[in-house]
Amino acid sequence: MPFGIPGWLYALLFLGAEFYGGRRQRTNTGHDAHLGGAIIGLLTATALFPEIIRASPYLYSTVIGLALGMFVYSWKNPLNLPLSNWFRRPSAPRDKVRQPGPTAGEVDAVLEKVSRAGVQSLTKKERDILEKASRK
């Protein structure tokens, strides 16, 4: 780059870009791996140079908190679903909650009527029987 920027600003921009890239998923780049590597890099730099925390505790807390928050979000929500999905109780899958359909005898009787008198002769109830049977 033709100009310098502070390391903390680069860290925030990098974390934001990787998080955004992971949410968009338009390339084959492993954005979650870059995010994890950035977190490990921040923790390693902290272990090697603990004076970083004493020099600027609020800035350090902001950067590491943002990084960990993005990591937890990506870990808990790998499909990048909206946050509202985190707080809803899981419901039964829709395909497991089925209403009982018409019996084979009912469907056979309706089909027999169609073969004798045509589709126009069916009542609303008979049409519903055929519609429900076609969903099975």
pLDDT tens, the chain, 136 aa long: 688 888 878 888 888 888 787 777 677 777 778 878 888 888 888 889 888 888 888 888 888 888 788 778 777 777 666 665 556 666 656 555 566 778 888 889 988 998 899 888 889 999 988 888 887 6
Q: Identify the pLDDT of residue 65.
A: 85
Which residue from 79, 131, 81, 71 is spatially nearest to 106, judged by alpha carbons? Answer: 131
Q: Identify the pLDDT of residue 85.
A: 57
Q: In the numeric block, which tokens belong to residue 121? A: 């002769």
Cβ atoms of 106 and 125 closer than 8 Å: no
Q: What is the pTM assigned to this prediction?
A: 0.46
Q: Identify the pLDDT of residue 66.
A: 81
User: Phi/psi zone of residue 100: left (φ > 0), alpha (ψ -120 to 50 degrees), beta?
Assistant: beta
Q: Identify the pLDDT of residue 124.
A: 92
Which residue from 5, 16, 6 is spatially nearest to 67, judged by alpha carbons? Answer: 16
Virtual torsion, Cα 59, 61, 63, 69, nearest 10 deg: -150
Q: Identify the pLDDT of residue 79.
A: 67
d(CA 62, CA 78): 23
Cβ atoms of 59 and 8 closer than 8 Å: yes
